[in-house]
Amino acid sequence: MSNSVNIKNKKASFEFFLLEKFTSGIVLTGTEIKSIRKGKVSINEAYCSFIDGELFIINMHIAEYEYGTYNNHEPKRNRKLLLNKRELRKLKSKLDEKGLTLVPTFLYINAKGFAKVEIALAKGKKLYDKRETLKQKDTQREMDRDS
């Protein structure tokens, strides 16, 4: 099984402080997993939310499978995330705090061939925090260049 699919949400670490990470399974249809294996997925605009006590990933774009015919899926449908009940309760209580959200940071296919998504409990950054992050990246780049 090819394990070459690694989709990162680079915008998440710039926009948010990532506090705690969880690995979750994801409920997909046949054409969705085929599109993910081809790498035609985007999690940049996606976020996670509780709907009727279950955790869903919202606004994740999986392109339609080119050979899917009438069985094709809707590209931006809500997809259920699979976590333990204990983890769901923990996340629900943390999300009730002000200013916290769940964002997907990484999507990959594990050794068994299942699609997994890494979600992070995150707190939004202010503008001055983003500037500080850019300064740190620039200084690190300069130090790497010198050595």
d(CA 26, CA 80): 6
Exposed/middle/buried for residue 71 (C-beta within 10 Å: 0-12, 13-18, 19+): exposed
Is residue 1, in this structure, part of any structural domain at all?
no
Is residue 62, in this structure, part of any structural domain at all?
yes
Q: Using alpha carbons only, what angle is made at residue 83 by residues 28 and 20, rounded to the nearest 5 degrees?
A: 115
Is residue 82, in this structure, part of any structural domain at all?
yes
CA R_g for the chain: 17
For the entire predicted model, the pTM comes to 0.82
Number of domains in the chain: 1
- pLDDT band (50, 70, 90) for residue 11: confident
* Residue 48 pLDDT: 93
Q: Give residue 107's domain range.
A: 6-146
- pLDDT band (50, 70, 90) for residue 14: confident
d(CA 102, CA 108): 18
Residues near 133 by beta carbon (within 8 Å), at least 6 away in sequence: 14, 125
Tell me how far CA of residue 41 lies from CA of 1, 3, 27, 117, 138, in angstroms: 19, 15, 15, 12, 30
Is residue 101, in this structure, part of any structural domain at all?
yes
Beta bridge partners of 55: 50
Q: pLDDT tens digits for 75-120?
A: 889 999 999 999 999 999 998 878 899 999 999 999 998 999 999 9
Decide if 7 contacts 44 (C-beta within 8 A): no
Is residue 44, in this structure, part of any structural domain at all?
yes
CATH number at residue 106: 2.40.280.10
